[in-house]
Amino acid sequence: MDVSNNLKDLDKINDTGRLFSILTDIMKKLRSPEGCMWDREQNHKTIKRNLIEEAYEVVESIESDDSSGLKEELGDLLLQVVFHSQIAADNKEFDINDVIRGIINKLIRRHPHVFQNEGLNNSKDILTKWEEIKKEERKEKKDKFNKPDSIFSGIPRSLPSLHLAFEIQNRASRVGFDWENAIDVLDKIKEELNELEEEFKEGHKSRIADEVGDILFTIVNFGRYIGIDCEESLYEASKKFIRRFDFMEKYAVDRNLDFKKLSLKEKDELWEIAKRELP
């Protein structure tokens, strides 16, 4: 397979179909006997971590407002889709055309208000209809593959825990299982904190772990209810901690202090300075 001719004046090609064809041809070449030994040896499981890592790198570029980096990372993520599709094609499971065809059909099916002139008035109605369509899809999968029917079907259990909790709660809310107001959720957080304190006093480690999980789950519920992404909130809090801690260490170095040897009280004093300088 010779793809070199297609690479001439690559930067001048603006036809999406042609560019995508070149990409898939390169992947076929890499997986062929004349290609790369490493690429040929891979399977879905050996490169699954790469897919996760590339997705996180895309998110990091977004968080950093790095347009150039986002362009590159989206390319790396696209490569993973093409790579897995080629592995599947080599195994005679499916190919990239099946992947694209599948998502086209899904987008049309899940947007009846766009492609079938079904009247939906607002985003809430759209999400309710979306959930109804997904429920029907899950039922079809259950009937076809004998899979259990659940509103939580399709939520990847490998999601970060805060994100997983949000998705679970969001699904439940779409079928009417939700809090009546935010104050009730805050009261629930206080209740869970009291239960944690009781278990801590009793010294039951496994029960303490359960209560910590309940508190985190309820906090995510509170955030979801008032429109705050707890994953994002924790991420920002972590970045803020890093900024302040770095400030503390630099502050100590600038004054010829050995940060590690400072007492906890002295470190707390530096922390208060950092909070004032970096709110």
Q: Report the distance separating Cα 91 and Cα 97, nearest Å.
A: 15
Q: Where are the domains of the chain?
A: 4-109, 119-154, 161-228, 233-277
- The full 3-state SS of the chain, as one line of letters, equals CCCHHHHCCHHHCCCHHHHHHHHHHHHHHHHCCCCCHHHHHCCCCCCHHHHHHHHHHHHHHHHCCCHHHHHHHHHHHHHHHHHHHHHHHHCCCCCHHHHHHHHHHHHHHCCHHHHCCCCCCCHHHHHHHHHHHHHHHHHHHHHHHCCCCCCCCCCCCCCCHHHHHHHHHHHHHHCCCCCCCHHHHHHHHHHHHHHHHHHHHHCCHHHHHHHHHHHHHHHHHHHHHHCCCHHHHHHHHHHHHHHHHHHHHHHHHHCCCCHHHCCHHHHHHHHHHHHHHCC
pLDDT of res. 209: 96
The HSE-up count of residue 159 (CA atoms within 13 Å, CB side) is: 13
Tens digits of per-residue pLDDT, 2-42? 666 667 788 888 999 999 999 999 999 999 999 999 999 99
User: Per CATH, which fold does 161-228 belong to?
Assistant: Helix Hairpins (1.10.287)
Q: Is the pLDDT of residue 47 over 80?
A: yes
> In this predicted model, what pLDDT tens digit does every residue of 56-89 receive, in sequence order?
899 889 988 999 999 999 999 999 999 999 999 9
Percent of the chain whose pLDDT exceeds 90: 70
pLDDT tens digit sequence for 186-225 = 999 999 999 999 999 999 899 999 999 999 999 999 999 9
Residue 6 has a pLDDT of 65
pTM for this predicted structure: 0.64
Q: Under CATH, what is the fold of the domain 4-109?
A: Helix Hairpins (1.10.287)
Give the residue with greater pLDDT, 153 vs 219.
219
The pLDDT, as a whole number, for residue 100 is 97
